[in-house]
């Protein structure tokens, strides 16, 4: 079912969105060589608890997962791109980390994802991250009343095509609001002018994700973590967006980050291995 939200309800989603943005900014700052994924997950768990929010991932048990999911954030490394199950892994120099977070605050949900490079960045990794970010911004730009859902999908695909990245259509964006996953599904590849007409009050989680050289995926033995089938590196960018009478409203937009604060953990709980 597709539910259009009132301006007041969108503002309540924006409260959740600002918190999601805050947490993902913190994850980006903490992602450093020597940080263990389990400790990073525990840090996020503490932030959610202190805020009085609820994780949308905890006990999540869809048909494709080996559920229930018992973590509060998805952390995917290198060729892993979606639903990364936090595990005992210590981040290394040059790793690519995708973090995906959805929480509910007072009954309203926001969902966002970002990809960062740990330590020394290879140009090809920065390039694929940049491609997902540009595809996301292109999708947001066309998320306006009167346009079609296919316009969003086509905008994402066009950026991927320009960069030379294939696009998987098994997993994409989705409606969002009172729950993490609502209708409609938003494919990362489609034809402009087709599909649902966009209307004010529609709230969508838009999430382009690409692998460098394949559109095929495989699952880890954990039943959750999704990887590129050929082991090529990946990236994932996502925002929760509200369609309004005016410009699209990004509910999970992060504040610009100061590079000097990246990985500076002196004043926050340690996420290093014990």
Known binding positions for a divalent metal cation: 100, 111, 174, 207, 238
Q: Cis peptide leading into 68, omega within 30 of 0?
A: yes
| 3, 202 contact by CB (below 8 A) | no
Annotated binding-site ranges: 83, 100, 111, 174, 181, 207, 238
52 torsion bin: left (phi>0), alpha (psi -120 to 50), beta (else): left
Contacts with 172 (C-beta within 8 Å, 6 or more apart), sequence order: 153, 185, 186, 187, 188, 207
| 31, 89 contact by CB (below 8 A) | no
| 66, 219 contact by CB (below 8 A) | no
Q: Give the length of the chain.
A: 274
Annotated binding-site ranges for substrate: 83, 181
Contacts with 5 (C-beta within 8 Å, 6 or more apart), sequence order: 13, 177, 201, 202, 203, 242
Q: What's the CA gap between 46 and 131, in Å, rounded?
A: 32
Contacts with 181 (C-beta within 8 Å, 6 or more apart), sequence order: 174, 175
Which burial class, exposed, middle or buried, applies to 59 when counting CB atoms under 10 A from its CB (0-12, 13-18, 19+)?
A: exposed
């Amino acid at each position: 079912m597709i539910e259009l939200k009132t301006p007041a309800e969108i503002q309540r989603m924006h409260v959740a969105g600002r918190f999601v943005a805050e947490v993902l900014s913190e994850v980006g700052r903490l992602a450093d060589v020597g940080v263990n994924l389990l400790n990073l997950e525990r840090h996020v768990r503490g932030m959610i608890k202190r805020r009085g929010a609820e994780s949308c991932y905890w006990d999540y048990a869809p048909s494709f997962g080996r559920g229930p999911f018992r973590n509060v954030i998805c952390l995917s490394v290198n060729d892993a791109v979606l639903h990364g199950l936090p595990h005992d892994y210590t981040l290394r120099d040059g790793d690519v980390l995708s973090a995906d977070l959805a929480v509910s605050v007072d009954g309203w949900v926001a969902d966002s994802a970002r990809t960062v490079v740990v330590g020394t960045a290879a140009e090809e990794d920065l390039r694929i991250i940049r491609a997902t970010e540009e595809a996301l911004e292109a999708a947001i730009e066309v998320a306006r009343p009167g346009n079609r859902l296919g316009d969003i999908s086509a905008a994402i695909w066009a950026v991927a095509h320009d960069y030379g990245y294939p696009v998987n259509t098994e997993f994409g964006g989705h409606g969002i609001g009172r729950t993490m996953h609502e209708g409609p599904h938003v494919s990362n590849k489609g034809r402009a002018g087709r599909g649902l007409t966009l209307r004010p009050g529609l709230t969508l989680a838009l999430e382009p994700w690409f692998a460098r050289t394949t559109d095929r995926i495989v699952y880890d033995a954990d039943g959750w973590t999704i990887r590129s089938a050929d082991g090529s590196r990946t990236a994932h960018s996502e925002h929760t967006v509200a369609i309004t009478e005016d410009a699209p409203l990004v509910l999970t937009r992060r504040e610009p980050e100061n590079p000097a604060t990246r990985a500076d953990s002196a004043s926050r709980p340690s996420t290093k291995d014990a």
